[in-house]
Chains A and B, each alone.
Chain A
Amino acid sequence: MVRVPAPAVSHRPKSLHHNHKRHLKERIIELLLFLAAFFSVFITFAIIYLLISESLVFFEHVSLWDFLTDTQWTPLFDDAHYGILPLVSGTAVSSLVALAIALPFGTIIAIYLSEFAPFLVREIAKPFLELLGGIPTVVYGYFALLFVTPMLQTIFPNLPGFSLLSAGLVMGIMIIPYVSSMTEDAMRSVPMHLREGSYAIGATRFQTAVKVVMPASLSGIAAAYILGISRAVGETMVVAIAAGMQPNLVWNPMEPAATITTYIVQVSLGDLPHGSVGYQTIFAAGLTLLLLTLVFNILGHLLRKRFREVY
């Protein structure tokens, strides 16, 4: 009878050693993955650092008071004025026009899709809206300049070739899919039994939608609106193409104007030397834009917290 040799004792330390190597490899991989995740924080810091450091140099030339109160923005002229107000007014007007279109339409479409539409309509409309959300903004700029502006000019004959109105309108159309899609998601996530309770006491679908589903999903709807607002404020190409790029302190959407974003585009299209005051203005403008969107993001965060419903 052949004796089975006993397992060599020397194997044990080796396998332990192997285990140790395996453990080390695991730790290294975990560290690499952590670094990848932490990289996003690095991006944020890089953005903030860059905008602030370039803006600080800018504010050595221009006082913060002038920046916030001067009503002219002519940084590239001989008689340079550095008032951000004209750019902010352009941004506000075009965003208001866009939101006046996107929020009502987006909400009505969301209510319809979530509470009224038959299954098939929703299954077709949802992906369709998502596809529209993916279309490049430069294409919407083309529509605004070459289709919507001429059409509006037949209604308002004295509308100039570049106007905040047509840019805002197209921006609004562009944002509808975002608002409706997110609002609908929020409304769909309201549990069915809330609707059933409402139907059981005799409410119509409309009453259920407005008095039960919408209040219950208010935090999600607020998030959708905030997203719409920050998209409108940060939108660049539509306004750059269709609203002209002259910084005017206007509150009338029928006029051409520049926004914060279009000013950055305008400067980038020319070639300003690195380190000049003109070069630093775009970082000051960018910082203003970032602060604006930050305010909306924080607002959205607070709204979400305030109206969060737990079932």
Chain B
Amino acid sequence: MNNTDNINEIRTIIARHKRWDLLALVAGIIALMIAVLTFIALFGNMVIDGMPRLTWEFFTSFPSRKPEIAGILSAWVGTTLVMLVTAAAAVPLGVAAGVYLEEYAPKNFITEIIEINVTNLAGVPSIIYGLLALGLFVYQLGLGQSILAAGLTLALLILPIVIVATREAIRSIPVTIREGAYALGATKWQTVADHVVPYSAAGILTGIIIGLARAIGETAPIITIGALTFIAFLPPSPVQDQFPFLSFEWLMEPFTVMPIQMFNWISRPQEAFQHNAAAAGLVLVLMTLLMNGLAIYLRYHLRKKIKW
């Protein structure tokens, strides 16, 4: 009798734990569903509001006081140029720093400081970078509210991302590759430049794309350096039809970028401008989704293909 009591007791305990298990499973699925549905609702709403404004003219018109003829020409040109500067500054610096930390750095105090510092920089709010840029680039270096100042600001912001990605990519290269190169008499730099970096290029590229996707959407630091929001002209083209064919005048020009343009439209009370904001937001989201998607695809592919 006592024995069956015990068994029954154990059975109720098991049943209770299984109920909890089921409950946790259902809670997990519901939480995931709520998150997914919220995002779908948000983006659905933006697509409904913004889609009708997404015409060819929207991409080829300057911003305007009349919402129906306003467009994002100066914004996307500005974003492209700022990204050029950002990539030109952040990629060499970030990759070089990553290579140093992974391949050269001795285990000492300074290396440890640099490593802790890179981790901490990644956690600094973006608006702080804006303040740094305002004080350093805009006033002390006298760059003003230019494309160059904005590009450098965003470069500082994504530097930790590029460094961390480079280190991770390099770390996945087996030591045998390096030993092989050394055995043939290659110097350290030859090993790094001819083998380690090229083999980890796809991983580094993934990090660069993720960093640039982050930079494209950053608004706060650009506002902080005092970027104008109403720009109805384009900077001079970098490519000229006369000698020397390349011009760097655009670096010092005032500009606007996509997120600033969107912010500007959101802040207007008229509903028509808010539809413009939705359309600009849609373009912005598609740009970042495309870049991040490419990065995820690259990484997924890497994981599958390369077997050392």
- Whether A268 lies near B130 (C-beta < 8 A) is yes
In the assembled complex, the Cα of A111 lies from the Cα of B31 at a distance in Å of: 11
- Whether A139 lies near B285 (C-beta < 8 A) is yes
Q: How many B residues face the partner with a CB closer than 8 A?
A: 89
Q: How many A-B residue pairs have CB under 8 A?
A: 246
Q: Is B165 an interface residue (CB 8 A)?
A: no
Interface class of chain A by DSSP: helix
Interface class of chain B by DSSP: helix
Q: How many A residues face the partner with a CB closer than 8 A?
A: 78
Which of B59-67, B173-181, B220-228 touches A? B220-228
> Closest chain A residue to B38 by CB distance?
A173
A124 to chain B, nearest CB (A): 10
* Interface residue from A36, A116, A146, A286 paired with B128 (Cβ < 8 Å): A286
Task: List chain A residues, Cβ under 8 A from B182.
Answer: none
Q: Is B170 an interface residue (CB 8 A)?
A: no
- Whether B274 lies near A146 (C-beta < 8 A) is yes
> Closest chain A residue to B24 by CB distance?
A206
> Closest chain A residue to B92 by CB distance?
A36
> Closest chain A residue to B291 by CB distance?
A134
A-B residue pairs, 8 tightest by C-beta: A112-B28, A136-B217, A234-B125, A36-B96, A33-B100, A236-B220, A204-B21, A37-B97
Q: A206-B20, A268-B224 are in contact. List 17 more A-B contacts (CB 8 A).
A: A26-B189, A30-B100, A34-B105, A36-B92, A37-B97, A47-B128, A47-B132, A109-B35, A116-B24, A135-B217, A136-B259, A138-B259, A173-B39, A203-B17, A206-B21, A234-B124, A268-B223
11 contacts between A and B (CB under 8 A): A38-B110, A39-B93, A40-B117, A41-B114, A105-B31, A131-B296, A135-B288, A143-B46, A235-B125, A237-B259, A264-B131
Chain B residues engaging chain A, CB cutoff 8 angstroms = 17-18, 20-21, 23-25, 27-29, 31-32, 34-36, 38-39, 41-42, 45-46, 49, 92-93, 96-97, 99-101, 104-105, 110, 113-114, 117-118, 120-121, 123-132, 134-136, 139, 156, 159-160, 163, 187-189, 210, 213-214, 216-220, 223-226, 259, 262-263, 266-267, 274, 277-278, 281, 284-285, 288-289, 291-293, 296, 300
